[in-house]
Amino acid sequence: MTIGKRFHPLLAALLLAPSSAAVYAQGFPSKPVRFIVPQATGGASDVLSRIIALKLSEQWPFQVVVDNRVGAGGNIGTEMTARATPDGYTWVLGFPGTHAINPVLYKNLSWDPVKNFEPTANLAVVPYVIVTGNNVPAKSMKELIALAKAKPGDVKFGSAGNGTINHLLGPMIATAGGFKLTHVPYRGIAIAVTNVIANEVQLAFGSMPSVIGQIRGGLIRPLAVTTEKRLDALKDVPTMIEQGFPGFVMTPWFGILTTGGTPAAVVNKINGDINQLLAQKDVAERFAAQGAVPAPWSPEQFTKELRADIVKWAKVVKESGATID
């Protein structure tokens, strides 16, 4: 049927007018944004979040306020975002630990990692570094394995808590290398690294942002990185692959998720603004100084990565035997 001249002008105006969600997104933000970081200060989540929050606060008419909400392996801050109004004004800095590992470890979570969140803007992928104290007589993974095999269970590693990535890396590496380690959980990786320095524990598996300062200060010794190739920031440190761990690559994503049900137009507005920041030279340099690699994804790609990690880490948790409740 041809509408032609019978097409009502009011109907035409309505069809041509932008949707209310699009108009809302154009005016975003019209108030401060709460950026929840469910981890302690000093870790990768906190460091990267503050870089982006500062840049957005300079660009937007309202501030992006970082709010550290520590507890329950990141579940407290994550749940706050899941329960927030779906308007794009509450964010959480998520990573596989919060959105892929915790749903397996904790059986009674009140939120779903897919249904209750909108993957909004990924910030970076972050390598991990195996570090040891300067008093530990091991300067390579080969020497570490020999030490651990000579004294089974005596070599201890610290983590940010049961079920965290830097906990699960322990049994993954120990199993692959055929040796034993003893796990000591702390309330944050910064505390674990402090105890590595004090020789209370001999090892930690920390994200680059959480250990790069102490490495540069000579307080801890890096043994290996979990990237496919060596890092520019640590050119003298070999990869796990180089040291006899074929295919061992671990570079988790760190990204912003907002409350499920937030209009797509708002999610896309946030995504576009953050991706523009990630393309800026000064942001890339600040990320690189932390050992992080900017990884600007679309919301669709971010969702795909999240779903894949939920499957991947469920297997890792099961094989590790890690439990919380």
Could you tell me the residue ranges of all domains in the chain? 29-125+252-320, 128-225
Residue 32 pLDDT level (bands cut at 50, 70, 90) = very high
Q: Which run of H or of E encompasses 82?
A: helix 75-82
Q: 230-247 burial string, b = 16+ CB within 10 Å, else e? A: ebebbeebebbbebebee
CATH entry 3.20.20.370 includes domain 29-125+252-320: no
Residue 162, pLDDT score:
83
For 134-153, what is each residue's pLDDT tens digit?
Answer: 999 999 999 999 999 999 98
Structure tokens at 293: 């690699």
How far apart CA 158 and CA 145 sit, in angstroms, is 17
pLDDT tens across 41-93, in order?
Answer: 877 789 899 999 999 999 999 999 999 998 888 899 999 999 999 999 999 99
Question: Following CA atoms 52, 286, 206, 64 in sequence, which dihedral angle do they give, to the nearest 10 degrees?
Answer: -10
C-beta atoms surrounding 301 within 10 Å: 13
Dig out the tokens for 140 from the structure: 């390579």
Q: Specify whether the CB–CB gap between 100 and 74 falls below 8 A.
A: no
The pLDDT, as a whole number, for residue 157 is 98
| Residue where the block lists tokens 């050119």 | 235
The pLDDT score that the predictor gives to residue 26 is 77
Assign domain 128-225 to a CATH class. alpha beta
- Compute φ and ψ for 241, nearest 5 degrees: -60, -45
Q: Print burial letters for 43-77: b (CB count within 10 Å at least 16), e (below 16).
A: bbbbbbbbbbbebbbeeeeebbebbbbbebbbbeb
Do the domains spanning 29-125+252-320 and 128-225 agree at the CATH topology level?
Answer: yes
Residue-wise pLDDT tens digits, 151-171: 998 999 999 888 889 999 999
Share of the chain above pLDDT 90, in %: 74
pLDDT one-digit tens code per residue, 102-117: 999 888 899 999 999 9
